[in-house]
Amino acid sequence: MILIYAISMKKQYTFKSCMILITCIWLIYGVSPIFAQTSEKVNMKYNAYPVYTGDDLGVRFLNEYIGVKIWSPEADSVRINLYADDQTEIASEQILFEKSENGAWSVRLPNEHIGQYYTVQAQLEKTWGAEVPDPYARAVGTNGKRGQLIDPSKINPKGWDIDWIPEMPELANILIYELHIRDFSIHPESGMKNKGKYLAFTERGTTTPKGITTGVEHLIEMGITHVHLLPTFDFLSVDESKPEQPQYNWGYDPQNYNVPEGSYSTNPADGSVRILEFKQMVKSLHDAGIRVIMDVVYNHTGRTEGLPFDELVPEYYYRQWNFGKYSNASGCGNEIASERPMVRKFMVESLKYWMEEYHIDGFRFDLMAIHDQETMREVASTLHRIRPDMLLYGEGWTADQSPLPENKRSLKKYTYKLPGIAAFSDEIRDGIKGHWSSHDSKGFVSGNTELKESVKFGIVGAIQHPDIDYKKVNNTDTAWALEPTQCIAYVSCHDNHTLYDKLKIANPEADENILRKMHILSNAIVLTSQAIPFLHAGVEFMRSKDGVENSYKSPDHINQIDWNLLAKNKEVHEAYKTLIALRKAHPAFRMGSADLVQSKLHFLETAPGVIAYHIQAPENDSWAEVVVAFNGENLRQSLPLEGKWIMAWDGNGSSELTSAGRIAIPAYSALILYRPR
C-alpha cells in the first residue's frame, strides 16, 4: 500500500530507493509478497511429496547382501561412497542407487563390505550435495561423519538376550534421577576408572580415597528407580578425534539420532565399540535394579547445512515462516517439522529402535511443545503397545515462537490430550525455590508465602482439586493433568542453577545451616507429592556449580559431581534417603489416581507460611492416616491435630509419639506424622 501510494503521488524513485521501501514494508508487516508466494509454492511441494511406508529405510543386513535405502524424492540421482576407514579422503568405490517407490532409492551391497564406512550423496538440480551418513544410520565413525556397515543386533554384551528389565507395575512408583554421563565419573576422586565413559556404569563397589561410596552403588543406596541420562545420541559439539583434550557439552545438538555418542566410548572410530559399551551400561544399570531413560532432542538439530536431513531432502524436515526463513522455536537455529509424515515416521521409528535394540525404558522429550500433538500421541501408542510400562515425559514449552499453531503444540496445558505422556511442572519448581530466571527471587522454602498455591498445585500432581485456588498458581490458571502421574514434580535439573546455588544466591543472609534446612525442605515437598518425583544428580548432597547458571559447555571442574560432598553434607544425604524410603514404603504418597487424590488428600487450614495436608491412606498402606506439614518461614509454627500421632520423620528421623492438641513445626522444616492401621 505504501508503494502504491508513492507511485500515485508521481514520486521519482531510483531502483535503490524502491528496494529500501520494499524492505521497510517487509519489516513492518513481517512478510513480503515475493517471499509469501515462494513459501506457498514450497508448502505445496511438501504436501505433494510421496510418503514411503516401508520399515526398511537405512542399512539392513540380509542373508545374501546389505540393503541400503534412503528417501530423497527430489533427487535426480543418489550414490553411496565406500571407504576402508573413517579418515581416508578418497572413496574406494562409488555405487549409484536405483530409484524405488514413493521417493525412495535403494542399493544392494555384497557382504564383503561389512565393516566398511560409507556416505551417501544426493544430486539435486544437477548438483551433488555434501557427503553424509544416511538419516537412519545406526553405526558411525569418528565425529559421526561417516556411517559404518555393521549390524548392531550382532554386537551384544554377555547375557544381553536375557537382560532383566526391573519391574515397574505402576507409574506412581517411579523416582527419576537425572545425570550427565561425564559428570558421573570424571571427578579425580570418583573411584571409577573409566572416567567420563559408558563403562563407568559397569564398575561396582567404587569409593573415594576416603571410602565414600560412589557410582552405581550410590544410586542403589539412594533407592531411585530410573536414571535419566542427558543426551547420549551422537552430537556435534565434542571433537571425538581429540579425547585427550578436556571437552564438555550437555549434548543438545543432535547429529546422528540412532547412534550412541562416541566421546563416551573408549574408541569412537569403531562404531561397534560405542554400541557394545552403551549396551553394557544399560545392562549394568538393569542388573542393579535401575531403569534407563534417554533424553531425546528431536525438536532441532545442531545445524542444518551438512547434516543428513537437509542434504537429502532440503527444507522438508524443518519448519519455515511464511517468508521462507527457518523458524526457531528451539532457540538453537531451527525446529523439526514433526507434523510432516516422513518426519513423524522418522521420530516414531527412531524411538522404537532405541527401545528394542538398546532396551531403553523411557524417553524425556526436550522442548516437547515443538512437537505436534498427533505425533506425540502416535509415539505413545506405538511404544506403549510394545512396552505398556514405557515412561514418556517432556518439557511442555518452547524456547521461542513457532509457526505450528498453538492449539496443535504439545504444550503443558494440553497434557490432558496426551494420554500416557507426562510434563514437567514449572509451577511447583518455581513455587518452591523462586522463579528460575529471577536469580534473587525467593520461593516458598525461603519465606515467600505468595507461592503457596503453586506448591500445593504440584503436590496434587497438577490435577483438578477442590482445595486449590488456581487463580493464585504461577505459570498456569487451571489443572492440566488428567492423572497425577502426568505431572513431573521437581525443583532443579541440569538447566539453570543447582538447588544449592539458587538458594544461596536468593538468600544471601542465610548461613550454611539455614541453607541446609531449606535444601532438605525443598525436596521433602517433591518426594512426598503425588506427582512423579524428579531429582537432579548430586542434589542429595547439595551439589554446586560454583554459581554458574548455564553450564552446558563449562569445564569439568564446574560440572563434575564431587563425591566428597557426601561426607560434608551427610545429614542432607541421609534425609533424602529416608524420604525416598518412606515414599517407597507407603502408597499414601503415590496413589496414582486423580480420583483417589481428590477424595483422600485434603489441605488443612494453616498459617500463611505453612502447607499441611491430611491423607486417608489407601487400604494397601500399613498407615491408616498421614499428615504432612511444611514450614517455609524463619519462625516456629504450630499445627492443631486431634488425637495422638506418631512422628515418622521430622528431619532427624524421629519416631516419637505426639500428644493431642498442637504439634510444633520448626523453621524451614517438614514433618510427616501417621496413625497405624
Chain segment 506-522, per-residue pLDDT in tens? 999 999 999 999 999 99
Kindly list the distances between the CA atom of residue 564 and the CA atoms of 189, 190, 210, 211, 539, in Å, as whole numbers in the listed order: 8, 8, 9, 10, 13
Q: Which amino acid is at 356?
A: E
State yes or no: pLDDT of 504 exceeds 70.
yes
Q: How far apart are the first and last CA of the chain?
A: 78
Kindly list the distances between the CA atom of residue 489 and the CA atoms of 448, 474, 673, in Å, as whole numbers in the listed order: 19, 14, 22
Which residues in the chain are classed under CATH 2.60.40.10? 58-154
State yes or no: pLDDT of 609 exceeds 60.
yes
Band of the pLDDT at 1, cuts 50, 70, 90? very low
Angle between helices 271-287 and 215-222 (to 10 degrees): 40
State yes or no: pLDDT of 383 exceeds 60.
yes
Arithmetic mean of pLDDT over the chain: 93
Q: Which CATH class is domain 594-676?
A: mainly beta
Decide: residue 160, CB within 10 A, 0-12 exposed, 13-18 middle, 19+ buried: middle
Closest CA to 671 of 641, 656, 646, 649: 649
140-165 tens-digit pLDDT = 999 999 999 999 999 999 999 999 99
Closest CA to 410 of 362, 367, 363, 371: 371
Question: Residues of 401-422 as b/e, b for ≥16 C-beta within 10 angstroms?
Answer: ebebeeebbbbbbbbbebebbb
* Grid coordinates of 78: 543418489
* Grid coordinates of 115: 565393516
Band of the pLDDT at 40, cuts 50, 70, 90? low
State yes or no: pLDDT of 34 exceeds 80.
no
> CA-to-CA distance for 36 and 34, rounded, in angstroms?
5
pTM score? 0.93
So what's the pLDDT on residue 654? 65
Closest CA to 611 of 492, 516, 469: 469
Distance of CA 588 to the CA centre of its chain: 28
Band of the pLDDT at 168, cuts 50, 70, 90? confident
Q: Which long-range contacts (CB under 8 A, 24 or more apart) does 90-96 make?
A: 91/119, 92/116
> CA-to-CA distance for 329 and 300, rounded, in angstroms?
9
> CA-to-CA distance for 308 and 76, rounded, in angstroms?
17
Cβ atoms of residues 610 and 596 within 8 Å: no
Closest CA to 150 of 298, 321, 276, 10: 276
H-run or E-run covering 59: strand 58-61
- Higher pLDDT: 43 or 544? It is 544
State yes or no: pLDDT of 29 exceeds 90.
no
So what's the pLDDT on residue 42? 53
Closest CA to 500 of 535, 539, 558: 539
Q: Which amino acid is at 362?
A: G
* Grid coordinates of 632: 517455609
- DSSP-derived secondary structure letter, 340: S
Cβ atoms of residues 383 and 350 within 8 Å: no
Which residues in the chain are classed under CATH 2.60.40.1180? 594-676
Catalytic site positions: 366, 395
The domain covering 58-154 belongs, at the CATH homologous superfamily level, to: Immunoglobulins (2.60.40.10)
Cβ atoms of residues 628 and 615 within 8 Å: yes
So what's the pLDDT on residue 18? 44
Band of the pLDDT at 45, cuts 50, 70, 90? confident
Q: How many alpha carbons lie under 13 Å from residue 502 in its C-beta half-sphere?
A: 31
Cβ atoms of residues 285 and 43 within 8 Å: no
